């Protein structure tokens, strides 16, 4: 997901992202004499300001303290990065509704400005190309979610007892500074302090839980590379369970309001993961699980890495969808947002496969049902491999036409080649990024077939392809 399930976006107040007046502090940027500024965006046409150029983030060590009653967050972000050019200054993505209090680069005070969604940092000295450096940013404020071009909300979404934190495509900038385009993956450590009446759940492995003076600090280690949009720090009155089941470390957090419906939730994971491992290759992460929040106002689930977040107890197909994303989306991530079908088409096809495995509905029946959409329906006008803009990022064709594309490919090349393609895609691009052209090239290489006509019709041309 995030295909909207029951959106009530009107209940939310939009956060304007118009630039705020710049505030300059610290040393004078005029003393810089070497290097050039890093680009303010990663070059993605759908979200031009997202991400930044001139450096590569390697690790985020985030210490966050959150008070749900006031909505106040104070944070320290310690970022390890490497300059990819001689760098006079660089940007991080952070909304300016959060106030930066200090920035150091390699322990020296750096000057900075904030405006819109950009934090611009000028180190005391230019950074040489290829050099590793560390940035420490202290900041605080009351985080607010963003409203996306399609009207959905993402980011730091407050709930009655905490935070539903889902960040696709642009919410990460609402709660921590970083290089927030999906092409700059990094490892993460989250040290989150909340009142002891609450639980803070993040990605990766729970490594410590330390109560002190009415507050509890949770430490989560996300050791495999992760794109920012897949990070989560969700907070609520959760029931936390952490155990080994069927060879997996399954860590779940369930809103007590949903405890009855969520009975057995941890045990539902291994069968799905075992099946997907058998067809996609080994599960790529050190732990799994999920966050089941009571958040009917949010309306979508998200495949947050290792531990998807759900606004209600997931159905079997939704669970399969989000777990399939761990291979397709999380481990292998698109290069540009327009390639989002590589996430959603694959996860939708995995839903079809899981239903077939359970005996609920065959893949062919799922395909036939989707293909029955009338030729004149608007559905067929969106080319799968470029839905046209950020407002269409999660439109139905990205999911259903994407899944149909995979089924047509399977029928064309046969089961052996098709599943070899999926395994090669997951294996060759593990923890990396890849685009539609790479998928086509891989499909042709593995199958030994020329597939231009098939992909042209199903991915690039508007209109209902004939069979």
Query: Which residues make up the interface to Zn ion (CB under 5 A)?
Result: 1, 344, 347
- SS3 state at 11: helix
Looking at residue 346, what DSSP letter applies? Answer: H
Tokens linked to 68: 């749900």
Q: How many CA atoms lie within 13 A of 15 on its CB side?
A: 26
CB atoms within 10 A of CB 131: 15
Least Cβ distance, residue 160 to Zn ion (angstroms)? 26
CB atoms within 10 A of CB 151: 13
Identify which of residues 103 and 459 has a Cβ nearer to Zn ion in the complex. 459
Least Cβ distance, residue 115 to Zn ion (angstroms)? 33
Identify which of residues 123 and 329 has a Cβ nearer to Zn ion in the complex. 329
Identify which of residues 49 and 344 has a Cβ nearer to Zn ion in the complex. 344
Identify which of residues 224 and 344 has a Cβ nearer to Zn ion in the complex. 344
- SS3 state at 216: strand
Surface-to-core class of residue 188, CB atoms within 10 Å of its CB (0-12 exposed, 13-18 middle, 19+ buried): buried
Identify which of residues 1 and 233 has a Cβ nearer to Zn ion in the complex. 1
The alpha carbon of 433 is separated from its chain's Cα centroid by a whole number of angstroms, namely: 13
Q: How far apart are CA 385 and CA 390, in angstroms?
A: 13
Q: Which residue is nearest to Zn ion (CB)?
A: 1
Identify which of residues 154 and 344 has a Cβ nearer to Zn ion in the complex. 344
Least Cβ distance, residue 330 to Zn ion (angstroms)? 10
Q: How far apart are CA 186 and CA 304, in angstroms?
A: 14
309 Ramachandran zone, left/alpha/beta (phi>0; psi -120 to 50): beta
CB atoms within 10 A of CB 210: 11
Identify which of residues 5 and 39 has a Cβ nearer to Zn ion in the complex. 5
Identify which of residues 37 and 314 has a Cβ nearer to Zn ion in the complex. 314
Tokens linked to 128: 């040489």
What is the dihedral angle through the alpha carbons of 306, 309, 313, 315, rounded to the nearest 10 degrees? -70
Identify which of residues 200 and 347 has a Cβ nearer to Zn ion in the complex. 347
Least Cβ distance, residue 302 to Zn ion (angstroms)? 8
Least Cβ distance, residue 403 to Zn ion (angstroms)? 11
Least Cβ distance, residue 209 to Zn ion (angstroms)? 30
Tokens linked to 101: 């209090």
Least Cβ distance, residue 168 to Zn ion (angstroms)? 9
Q: How far apart are CA 232 and CA 199, in angstroms?
A: 13
Least Cβ distance, residue 191 to Zn ion (angstroms)? 29
Relative to beta strand 215-226, strand 205-212 is antiparallel
Least Cβ distance, residue 342 to Zn ion (angstroms)? 11
Provide φ and ψ at 292, rounded to 5°.
Answer: -110, 105
Q: How many CA atoms lie within 13 A of 267 on its CB side?
A: 3
């Amino acid at each position: 997901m995030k295909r909207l399930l029951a959106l009530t976006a009107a209940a939310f107040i939009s956060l304007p992202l118009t630039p705020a007046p710049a505030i300059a502090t610290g040393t004078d940027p005029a003393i810089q004499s070497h290097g050039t500024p890093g680009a303010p965006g990663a070059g993605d046409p759908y979200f031009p300001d997202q991400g930044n150029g001139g450096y590569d983030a390697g690790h985020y060590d985030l210490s966050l303290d959150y008070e749900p009653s006031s909505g106040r967050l104070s944070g320290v972000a310690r970022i390890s990065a490497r300059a990819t050019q001689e760098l006079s200054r660089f940007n991080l993505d952070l909304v300016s509704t959060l106030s930066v209090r200090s920035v150091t680069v390699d322990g020296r005070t750096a000057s900075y400005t904030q405006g819109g969604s950009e934090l611009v940092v000028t180190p005391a000295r230019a950074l040489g190309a290829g050099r590793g450096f560390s940035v420490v940013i202290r900041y605080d404020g009351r985080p607010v979610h963003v409203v996306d071009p399609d009207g959905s909300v993402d980011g730091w979404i407050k709930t009655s007892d905490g935070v539903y934190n889902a960040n696709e495509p642009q919410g990460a900038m609402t709660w921590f500074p970083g290089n927030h385009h999906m092409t700059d993956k990094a490892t993460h450590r989250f040290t989150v302090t909340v009142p002891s009446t609450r639980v803070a759940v993040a990605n990766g492995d729970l490594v410590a839980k330390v109560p002190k003076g009415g507050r509890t600090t949770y430490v989560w280690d996300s050791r495999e590379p992760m794109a920012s949009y897949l990070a989560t720090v969700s907070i609520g009155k959760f029931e936390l369970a952490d155990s080994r089941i069927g060879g997996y470390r399954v860590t779940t957090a369930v809103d007590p309001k949903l405890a009855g419906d969520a009975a057995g939730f941890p045990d539902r994971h291994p069968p799905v993961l075992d099946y997907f491992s058998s067809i996609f290759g080994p599960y790529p992460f050190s732990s799994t699980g999920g966050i089941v929040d009571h958040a009917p106002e949010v309306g979508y689930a998200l495949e947050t890495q290792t531990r998807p977040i759900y606004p209600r107890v997931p159905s079997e197909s939704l669970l399969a969808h989000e777990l399939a994303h761990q291979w397709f989306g999380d481990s292998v991530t698109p290069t540009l947002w327009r390639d989002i079908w590589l996430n959603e088409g694959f996860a939708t096809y995995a839903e079809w496969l899981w239903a077939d495995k359970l005996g609920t509905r065959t893949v062919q029946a799922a395909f036939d049902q989707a293909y029955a959409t009338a030729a004149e329906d608007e559905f067929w006008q969106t080319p799968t491999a470029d839905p046209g803009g950020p407002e269409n990022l999660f439109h139905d064709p990205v999911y259903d036409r994407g899944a149909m594309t995979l089924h047509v490919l399977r029928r064309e090349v046969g089961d052996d080649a098709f599943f070899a393609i999926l395994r090669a895609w997951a294996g060759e691009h593990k923890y990396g990024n890849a685009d539609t052209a790479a998928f086509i090239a891989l499909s042709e290489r593995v199958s030994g077939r020329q597939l231009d006509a098939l992909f042209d019709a199903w991915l690039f041309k508007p209109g209902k392809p004939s069979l």
